[in-house]
């Protein structure tokens, strides 16, 4: 089933049939978490990857939160095809109108409006009576329906809401025209048995339940987000809200890849329900997110971690050789991890590179492949063997934002036992300027970061710096990641090189370039929310 037909067929649970809709909120709830913010270009790139992955609904952001959020949602709505594009809005006219404007050019759109319903939120946050909550929710849904045919209503903190009142709110918003009702476990408090009971109760008690899709939205504060979402599905939820790698507020949201693979591997426990996810793209999508956010995926992370399919112990290897099923419940290939560690080198051709990229889930067009091949050859000249992780870094290093105006033309760094390290850099600007600077530092990386910051003339302080090997061997590529602070804003830079000092310099340059682009006059006006 193509995602085009899938999404339009699911206005009712009956039409959804054997499907669980995957509502991805990586770019909204995920991006909201400290350390995971993304630029507009990065969000657009991630949105394209999520569309390729086959998510049904893509929550692109919260347009009323800031002009930049508005512009990101608008850009995604105008460009990304496949999923239904969704925007979040509080049950307030200004929010809803911003969401409607940002989504105006999406072929299929959804406004997701929310209001807290629990006693705690009613009393302390909203200072609203139950009746005021019902009236505000209904007014929000009605207003959203004037701008968009598909409206979802979320009862924030639903899990800590009196079930009878939750049922009353849902009955009212369904009567007003909501197509999806979402049950957020906003604070990650519920348990599988409890949420299953709640879904069973709501599906039986809510008026109009048969006309809508029930959805779960679980946070991971007690580490049960995926288990709770699956329990909700078993009890009738036909949409799950989730994020790649489980990123999200505090401890995060339910991890998309875990939900999807659990539904697939244990299909018999969930009545054979399917998702539209192209699971072979899970690995590449998660790597792209890690590369964009600079937050590495834990080695032992289920499905997408490096160790997820590694069998190191002798007993396991022995069993695996006799029968894969002894220690393996799913195939690495099915989530996009290539089984063979085929090593490419400087004699490998364009065809071999294309094949390798495709097996890693990166289908590049001819121009992108040409560019990747040039970078691959440069790398192969500098190191004996090029591993999958190196190739992925090449494929993922196509960030359009990572270019200019400054280029690194010279770098020299030295360390001295018992004395400060020193570094000198030369940078060329696209307007023709060339600047050289030197600095001392606490180690060569520190010295190089200071020299770059001095040369570009923008003051930024390095808040976090990390370096990690992308593959094996002493000549492995190192990925440097920097989180810098400039005028109260958090900026990220990342770069990969076999020389870790060069990687650090290039990562600092990426930060400097971001600052420079913000400071120079822009010709494209950013759409305003007002």
In this complex, which beta carbon is closest to ligand KIV, that of residue 176 or of residue 369? 176
Judged by beta carbon distances under 5 to 8 A according to partner kind, the member of ligand KIV, Zn ion, none in contact with residue 154 is ligand KIV
Cα separation, 434 vs 428, whole angstroms: 4
What count of other Cβ atoms lies within 10 Å of the Cβ of residue 300?
10
* Partner touching 257 among Zn ion, ligand KIV, none, CB below 5 to 8 Å by kind: none
Enumerate residues 136-175 that contact Zn ion by CB under 5 A: none
Q: Which does 502 bind (CB under 5 to 8 A by kind): Zn ion, ligand KIV, none?
A: none
3-state secondary structure of 83: coil
156 binds, among Zn ion, ligand KIV, none (CB under 5 to 8 A by kind): ligand KIV
CB atoms within 10 A of CB 505: 26
CB of 39: closest distance to ligand KIV in angstroms? 22
* Region of 29-37, 73-81, 104-112, 274-282 interacting with Zn ion (CB under 5 A): 29-37
Name the burial class of residue 525, with classes exposed (0-12), middle (13-18) and buried (19+) by CB atoms within 10 angstroms of its CB: exposed
Instruction: Choose between 59 and 510: whose C-beta lies nearer to Zn ion.
Output: 59
Q: Which residue among 10, 23, 27, 29 contacts Zn ion (CB under 5 A)?
A: 29
Q: How near is the Cβ of 249 to Zn ion at its closest, in Å? A: 6
Rg of the chain (C-alpha set): 25
Whichever of 166 and 372 has its CB closer to ligand KIV, that residue is 166
Residue matched to tokens 């009702």: 181
Question: If binding means CB under 5 A, how many residues of this protein chain bind Zn ion?
Answer: 1
Question: Least CB distance from residue 133 to Zn ion, whole Å?
Answer: 19
Minimum distance, C-beta of residue 444 to Zn ion, in the bound complex (Å): 43
Name the minimum Å distance from CB 2 to Zn ion. Answer: 29
DSSP 131-162: HHHHHHHHHHHHHHHTT-S-EEEEEETGGGS-
Pick the closer one to ligand KIV by CB: 189 or 270: 189
Q: What's the start-to-end Cα distance of the chain, in Å?
A: 40
The interface partner of residue 114, options being Zn ion, ligand KIV, none and the CB cut-off 5 to 8 Å by kind, is ligand KIV
Q: Strand 489-497 to strand 478-486: parallel, antiparallel, or no bridges (unpaired)?
A: antiparallel
Q: State the Cα–Cα distance between residues 440 and 419, nearest whole angstrom.
A: 10
Nearer to ligand KIV, 217 or 450 (CB): 217
φ and ψ of 310, to 5 deg: -95, 130
Closer CB to Zn ion, 243 or 529, in the complex: 243
> With CB cut-offs between 5 and 8 Å by kind, which of Zn ion, ligand KIV, none does residue 376 bind?
none
Supply 96's token pair.
Answer: 């809803």
Report which of 345, 386, 349 is spatially closest to residue 477, judged by C-alpha positions.
Answer: 386
Q: Which residues of 160-184 are buried (b: 16+ CB within 10 A; e: fewer)?
A: bbeeebbbbbbbbbbebbbbbbbbb
Residue 122 beta carbon to ligand KIV: minimum distance, rounded to whole angstroms? 15
Q: How far is the CB of 265 from ligand KIV (least distance, A)?
A: 27
**Distance of alpha carbon 310 from alpha carbon 301, whole angstroms:** 12
The SS3 call for residue 298 is coil
When CB distances are held under 5 to 8 angstroms depending on the partner's kind, the choice from ligand KIV, Zn ion, none that residue 493 binds is: none
Would you give the distance in Å from CA 224 to the centre of its chain?
Answer: 20
Return residues touching ligand KIV (CB under 6 A).
29, 114, 154, 156, 184, 186, 217, 219
DSSP code, position 391: H
Question: If contact means CB under 5 to 8 A according to the sort of partner, which of Zn ion, ligand KIV, none does residue 90 touch?
Answer: none
Whole-angstrom distance, CA of residue 407 vs CA of residue 502: 12
Identity of the residue, 250 or 350, whose beta carbon is nearer to ligand KIV in the bound complex: 250
Residue with Cβ nearer Zn ion (29 or 95): 29
Nearest one of 497, 422, 490, 423 to 467, comparing CA atoms = 497
Contact range with Zn ion by CB under 5 A, out of 28-36, 171-179, 384-392, 473-481: 28-36
502 binds Zn ion (CB under 5 A): no
Closer of 29 and 69 to Zn ion (Cβ): 29
Residues that bind Zn ion (CB under 5 A): 29
């Amino acid at each position: 089933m193509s995602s085009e037909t899938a999404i339009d067929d699911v206005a009712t649970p009956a039409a959804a049939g054997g499907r669980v809709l995957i509502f991805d909120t990586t770019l909204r709830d995920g991006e909201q978490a400290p350390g995971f913010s993304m630029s507009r270009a990065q969000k657009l790139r991630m949105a394209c990857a999520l569309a390729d992955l086959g998510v049904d609904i893509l929550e692109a952001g919260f347009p009323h939160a800031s002009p930049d959020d508005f512009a990101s949602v608008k850009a995604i709505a105008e460009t990304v095809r496949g999923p239904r594009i969704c925007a979040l809005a509080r049950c307030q006219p200004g929010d809803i109108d911003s969401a409607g404007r940002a989504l105006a050019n999406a072929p299929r759109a959804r406004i997701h409006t929310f209001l807290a319903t629990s006693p705690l939120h009613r009393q302390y946050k909203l200072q609203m009576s139950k009746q005021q909550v019902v009236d505000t929710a209904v007014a929000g849904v009605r207003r959203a329906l004037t701008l968009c045919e598909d409206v979802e209503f979320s009862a924030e903190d639903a899990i800590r809401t009196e079930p009878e009142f939750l049922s009353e709110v849902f009955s009212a918003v369904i009567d007003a025209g909501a197509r999806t009702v979402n049950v957020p476990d906003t604070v990650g408090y519920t348990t599988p048995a409890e949420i299953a009971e709640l879904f069973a109760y709501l599906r039986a008690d809510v008026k109009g339940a048969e006309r809508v899709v029930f959805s779960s939205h679980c946070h991971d504060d007690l580490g049960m987000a995926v288990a709770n979402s699956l329990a909700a599905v078993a009890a009738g939820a036909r949409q799950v809200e989730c994020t790649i790698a489980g990123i999200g507020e505090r401890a995060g949201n339910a991890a998309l890849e875990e939900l999807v693979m659990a539904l697939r591997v244990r299909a018999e426990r969930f009545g054979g329900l399917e998702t539209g996810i192209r699971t072979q793209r899970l690995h590449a999508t998660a790597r792209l997110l890690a590369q964009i956010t600079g937050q590495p995926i834990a080695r032992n992370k289920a499905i997408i971690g490096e160790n997820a399919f590694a069998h190191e112990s002798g007993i396991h290897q022995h069993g695996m050789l006799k029968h894969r099923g002894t220690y393996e419940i799913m195939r690495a290939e099915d989530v996009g991890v290539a089984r063979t560690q085929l090593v490419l080198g400087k004699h490998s051709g364009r065809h071999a590179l294309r094949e390798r990229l495709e097996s890693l889930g990166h289908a590049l067009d001819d121009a992108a492949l040409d560019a990747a091949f040039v970078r691959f050859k440069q790398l192969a000249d500098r190191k004996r063997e090029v591993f999958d992780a190196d190739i992925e870094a090449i494929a993922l290093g196509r960030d359009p934002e990572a270019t200019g105006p400054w280029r690194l033309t010279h770098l020299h760094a030295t360390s001295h036992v018992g004395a400060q390290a020193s570094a000198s850099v030369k940078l060329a600007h696209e307007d023709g300027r060339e600047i050289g600077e030197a600095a001392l530092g606490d180690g060569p990386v520190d010295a190089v970061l200071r020299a770059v910051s001095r040369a570009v003339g923008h003051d930024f302080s390095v808040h976090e710096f990390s370096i990690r090997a992308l593959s094996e061997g002493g000549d492995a590529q190192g990925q440097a990641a920097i989180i810098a602070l400039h005028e109260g804003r958090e900026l990220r830079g990342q770069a990969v090189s076999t020389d870790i000092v060069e990687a650090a310099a290039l990562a600092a340059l990426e930060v400097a370039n971001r600052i420079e682009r913000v400071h120079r006059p822009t010709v494209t006006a950013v759409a305003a929310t007002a």
